[in-house]
Structure 1
Amino acid sequence: MIKEVKGNTKLEHYGDSFIARIPDNIIDLLVLENNQKFLISIQGESIVLAPEVKQLNTFSNWEDNWEDNGIRHKELDWGEIKGNEGKY
């Protein structure tokens, strides 16, 4: 668990938005990157920024988003059996 770290920043107007700069020591501690995405929320009287967690690229995630284009209509021929693959 990360120890409590405090720092000061100020709100600056930038175009149509406002910016609050995050000190380098906090960026380094949380291993944040340039263009990091955050979830912003209000808790009581506080603004809370939580780094968006990157979802791992797993087969399960890939399978959930799979859209079959229907082009394959027969079993694919991968060539002769080699090594210890065996026949099914």
Structure 2
Amino acid sequence: MNNIKNQTRIIQWGNSMVTEIPSYIVKQLGLEDKQALTVTIQNNSIVLTPIKKQPTHIHDIFADWQDDGQRDHEVDWGKEEGNEWPW
């Protein structure tokens, strides 16, 4: 993790206070518009942590998968051994 230091300001926005996150930080962390974050206080500092969206369906997991044309049948991965998702 890089110790990036950047200056920003807190401004009034309605009943809340907001700040900007520089675009290079957004890009480095892979954040998206309307990204959910947790806000915590650690050692007298504000810490914003992205909440990773968890897939709820197998189709979410493979939404961007491109078929490589290598198989014409299902692959047998063997019996369940642990924390597999119940489909």
Equivalent in the alignment of 1:44: 43
Equivalent in the alignment of 2:16: 17
AA partner of residue 4 (structure 2) = V
Matches of 2:53 and 2:45, distance apart in 1: 25
User: What is the TM-score normalised by the length of structure 2?
Assistant: 0.62
Equivalent in the alignment of 1:33: 32
Share of identical aligned residues, percent? 33
Equivalent in the alignment of 2:6: 7
Q: Which runs of 4+ in 1 moved over 2 A?
A: 56-61
Equivalent in the alignment of 2:77: none
User: What is the TM-score normalised by the length of structure 1?
Assistant: 0.61
Matches of 1:31 and 1:5, distance apart in 2: 15
Matches of 2:7 and 2:24, distance apart in 1: 12
Secondary structure of 1:50 counterpart: strand
Instruction: Select the structure of larger CA radius of gyration.
Output: 1
Cα deviation, 1:6-62, whole Å, max 9, x if unaligned, reads: 21110000101010110011001001000001000001210000000111234637x
Give unpaired runs (5+ residues) of structure 2: 59-84
Give unpaired runs (5+ residues) of structure 1: 64-88
AA partner of residue 3 (structure 2) = E
Matches of 1:38 and 1:25, distance apart in 2: 17
